[in-house]
Chains A and B, each alone.
Chain A
Amino acid sequence: MQRFILNRRQMLGGLAAGAGLSLLGPMSRASAAVSEIVWATWDSNGHPEYVAAFEKATGTKVKLSFLSSEDAQFAALKTGSASDWDIVNPSLNQARRYIKAGELMPLDLTKVPNLAHMYDVFKATDKVKGEDGQTYAIPYLWGLNPIVYRSDIHTEEPTYSTLFDPKFKGQLAMRDYALESIAIAALYIGIPRDRAFLLTSDELVEVKKALIAQKPLLRTYWQTIGDLTNLFATGEVTAAFSWRVPYDALKDKMKVAMAKPKAGIMGWCDCFGIPASLPEEKIETAYKFADYLLGADYASTIAEIGNYATTSSIIRDTLSTEKQEAIFIDDLSVMQNFMWPEAPENYSEWLKVWNEVKAA
């Protein structure tokens, strides 16, 4: 049976505003000048000062469009409500979702010379490749998701087992996010790192038991990183699977530290991607921007202001040891312990388990 699949434009045309808008979309695109490109990204990745050097060098203004969530970004591309975005920001762990859905354009890597400086671990990843073998996204910014903890209360550096330890009942927090929370529980019950995102249904049952047993120990599930920072600041939580933000925000006010569990360090990585529908005249500028993201100017400013490292080694040796340590590139062996959260094939089963845990 021939089936009709709704794509981005058809969805826009059919649901949002009828046929008129479908026609107006491309017309407005065609008339846009390359004097400006719109970069959909996180606010932490796209401060105006991070892109100032690009604007100066090319004369193209970078308009920042901040994302609220990865899901919102995907949904916006899918439903056509993101028609003004010229460059998007899929995460490494979700890139395949965008590629499969046909939302990204295959990239010509010869147009990004700075790729030569990229760390091998990012060069080697196949998560940004489609089934046709082509590359659809370029990793450009990364970091670690540590356990942030109060070092005055936890005298020993926490591991993932600490997050399941009744001794700390009422002081712990986990992120309200199936992918990472289930993988951490999998590591805790002894599933090896390389299989933490490839759980069978039977293993998911065991993980669910561990997560339900953990629930009474938790003060709460944190929703946003600001939320977790507030929980640390007000003394509600003393250890949590986290991002580095609470550490940076509170390190001068209280004794906080970051633990990088040996069982496996959850990494995050953001990618550069071009929407499949980007008009021809903007593509060259988009490639220039990709090269800029892997270049020295972006790397220096974001390391200095945001404490983040790009996937390029281009400025590593020029940074002080303290700065290298702050952005996790002092000891490059850390990259051997990376775990990249990856949406599994049976992700809907994971989400079901997570929702059952939360409703238990």
Chain B
Amino acid sequence: MTFRQRHLALPVAAAIIAGCIAPLAVLVAFSFYEVEDFDLVPAFSFRAWGELATSTTDWFLIGKAVLSGVATTLFTALLGYPVALALTRLAASAKGIAIIVLLTPLYTGEIVRIYAWRIVLGGEGLINTVLLGLGLIDEPLKFLLFSPFTIGLVLTYNNLPFMVLAIWVSAEMVDRRLIEAARDLGARPVDAFFRVIFPLTTPGLAAGSLTVFALSAGEMLTPNLLGGTSGATAMALIDNLFGTAFDWPLASALALALLATLFLVASAMAGLLLRLKGARAMIGRT
């Protein structure tokens, strides 16, 4: 990359850094403040950090955010690979249509999607009505809605396009001749996938994974409105602490702890994925 090309990225980079660093600095400062009669009092108090360190609820919810992010990443990756690879086989005109179809769910707002899921998964919803009508069940399947299953299902559905797009871009760059060579040399399709396609598409998988992890670990609305009594999240708790409790120091400390934990997990994921042979080869090209 020439100096001039880099120079072009500077304003955006500066805006991103300012937009990220400034709020973080404010959060760090607030986490040491005290609250007196609904006033934030500048201080150097470890009250919030002490409370956070000893709160099993807070750490449970941070752990839940990590688990939710990792599980959604895993599910979207497993489901996304076949879709992304199938996309590469389509004719150019069909590809455009397929991508638009893939992204269609994202054009509707999140709230619309959430209420649509309620109509589909509810006790008197589409799936239960069909299953009852076919005589396959006697009672509506209550676990379909307002359960951890619902959260997993909807987060996977919502994030699948991001994973598919990232893997697809990588898969398009794979030289077909390498796959043909592998097959000519006797590799079965599954071997060709694991020894050629998968390593070469790892950068796409890494990009998709990091995006999906970030989006799903921080998701609040879906668990809140579709998760039933299991829908508590660290993000909702932070919202509650900033709002109802007016405990900005604890909210800031919790937000920073969540951010740091997610950052560490995302870094570990990126490290693992990019350590794969194919990924190194792809990155080495640039």
Contact of A7 with B39 at beta-carbon distance under 8 Å, contacts A71-B244, A220-B229, A236-B122 already known: yes
A231 to B: closest C-beta gap in Å: 8
What's the interface size class on A, roughly? 35 or more
Check A334 for interface membership: any CB of B closer than 8 A: no
Check B138 for interface membership: any CB of A closer than 8 A: no
A12 to B: closest C-beta gap in Å: 13
B63 to A: closest C-beta gap in Å: 10
Check A218 for interface membership: any CB of B closer than 8 A: yes
Docked Cα-Cα span, A347 to B76, in Å, equals 41
| Pair B240/A355 contact, Cβ less than 8 Å | yes
User: Which of B40-48, B157-165, B169-177 is the interface stretch?
Assistant: B40-48
Residue of A nearest to B60 (CB): A359
A8 to B: closest C-beta gap in Å: 10
| Pair A15/B38 contact, Cβ less than 8 Å | no
| Pair B232/A359 contact, Cβ less than 8 Å | yes
Encode contact with A along B231-257: 1 for CB under 8 Å, 0 otherwise. 110000100111111110000000000
**Of A5, A7, A72, A218, which one neighbours B243 at CB under 8 angstroms?**
A72
**Of B41, B228, B245, which one neighbours A220 at CB under 8 angstroms?**
B228
Check B146 for interface membership: any CB of A closer than 8 A: yes
Contact of A100 with B37 at beta-carbon distance under 8 Å, contacts A71-B244, A351-B244 already known: yes
Chain B residues whose CB sits within 8 angstroms of the CB of A221 once the complex forms: 228-229, 231
Check B277 for interface membership: any CB of A closer than 8 A: no
| Pair B125/A218 contact, Cβ less than 8 Å | no
B139 to A: closest C-beta gap in Å: 10
Chain A residues whose CB sits within 8 angstroms of the CB of B124 once the complex forms: 234-236
A221 to B: closest C-beta gap in Å: 6
Docked Cα-Cα span, A15 to B42, in Å, equals 13
**Of B42, B118, B237, B246, which one neighbours A4 at CB under 8 angstroms?**
B42
Residue from B37, B39, B40, B118 with most neighbouring chain A CB atoms (10 Å): B39
Contact of A356 with B118 at beta-carbon distance under 8 Å, contacts A75-B242, A218-B229 already known: no
Main secondary structure of the interface of A (DSSP, over half): helix
Check A6 for interface membership: any CB of B closer than 8 A: yes
Residue of B nearest to A353 (CB): B57
**Of B115, B123, B232, which one neighbours A230 at CB under 8 angstroms?**
B115
Check B265 for interface membership: any CB of A closer than 8 A: no
Total A-B Cβ pairs within 8 A: 92
Check B74 for interface membership: any CB of A closer than 8 A: no
Chain B residues whose CB sits within 8 angstroms of the CB of A352 once the complex forms: 57
Chain B residues whose CB sits within 8 angstroms of the CB of A75 once the complex forms: 242-243, 246
| Pair B40/A234 contact, Cβ less than 8 Å | no
| Pair B38/A359 contact, Cβ less than 8 Å | no
Chain B residues whose CB sits within 8 angstroms of the CB of A320 once the complex forms: none
Residue from B38, B41, B61 with most neighbouring chain A CB atoms (10 Å): B38
B24 to A: closest C-beta gap in Å: 14
Check B119 for interface membership: any CB of A closer than 8 A: yes
Check B225 for interface membership: any CB of A closer than 8 A: yes
Residue of A nearest to B37 (CB): A100
Check B184 for interface membership: any CB of A closer than 8 A: no
Chain B residues whose CB sits within 8 angstroms of the CB of A325 once the complex forms: none
| Pair A5/B122 contact, Cβ less than 8 Å | no
Chain A residues whose CB sits within 8 angstroms of the CB of B123 once the complex forms: 234-236
Chain A residues whose CB sits within 8 angstroms of the CB of B125 once the complex forms: 234
| Pair A78/B38 contact, Cβ less than 8 Å | yes
| Pair B38/A101 contact, Cβ less than 8 Å | yes
Residue of B nearest to A15 (CB): B26
Residues of chain A from 306 to 360 with CB closer than 8 A to chain B in the complex? 347-348, 351-352, 355-356, 358-359
Chain A residues whose CB sits within 8 angstroms of the CB of B275 once the complex forms: none
Chain B residues whose CB sits within 8 angstroms of the CB of A110 once the complex forms: none
Chain B residues whose CB sits within 8 angstroms of the CB of A72 once the complex forms: 243
| Pair A101/B228 contact, Cβ less than 8 Å | no
Chain A residues whose CB sits within 8 angstroms of the CB of B61 once the complex forms: 359
Chain A residues whose CB sits within 8 angstroms of the CB of B229 once the complex forms: 215-216, 218, 220-221, 358
B62 to A: closest C-beta gap in Å: 11
**A residues lining the B interface (CB < 8 Å):** 3-7, 11, 15, 69, 71-72, 74-75, 78, 97, 100-101, 170, 176, 178, 215-216, 218-221, 223, 227, 230, 234-236, 347-348, 351-352, 355-356, 358-359
**B residues lining the A interface (CB < 8 Å):** 26, 36-43, 57, 60-61, 64, 115, 118-119, 122-125, 142, 145-146, 224-225, 227-229, 231-232, 237, 240-247
The 4 closest A-B pairs by CB, nearest first: A71-B243, A358-B232, A101-B38, A220-B228
